[in-house]
Amino acid sequence: MICYEWFTSHSDGLIEARVSSELATLDELQYFEKRLEIQLKQAGFLKPPEKATSMMRNLRNIFRRTNLTDQEVRSLHGVISALIRRDGAP
């Protein structure tokens, strides 16, 4: 309880920013995860192939555990887009 009160009094607006966006829907998360998986495969990250499924499961668990907002998911899409453009892909 004390930690929560300290956090809320010292959050510098972080809580207010979180409240202004809705939580991402399952469809939004699944679309992001699929896009991430495609790009990770193209980048050669999901190797060896027999570990790709568990690697993606671990990443999905991370993103779903954090209760991302729709704005946060859009920001993550922006990160993927920036990395794609950096590598010269379409």
Q: What is the pTM of this model?
A: 0.73
- pLDDT number for residue 88: 65
List, in order, residues 6 or more apart from 23 with CB less than 8 Å away. Answer: 67, 68, 69, 70
Does residue 6 sit within a domain?
no
Query: Rounded to an integer, what distance in angstroms lies between the CA atom of residue 30 and that of residue 39?
Result: 14
What is the residue type of 86?
A: R
Q: Which CATH number does the domain housing residue 58 bear?
A: 1.10.8
For 24-68, the pLDDT digits (tens) are: 999 999 999 999 999 999 999 999 999 999 999 999 999 999 999
Residue 86 has pLDDT above 90, yes or no: no
Does residue 8 sit within a domain?
no
- pLDDT number for residue 28: 97
- pLDDT number for residue 4: 62
Indicate the number of domains in the chain: 1
Does residue 41 sit within a domain?
yes
Does residue 47 sit within a domain?
yes
Residue 6 has pLDDT above 80, yes or no: no
**Which residue range(s) make up the domain with 60?**
22-86
- pLDDT number for residue 23: 96
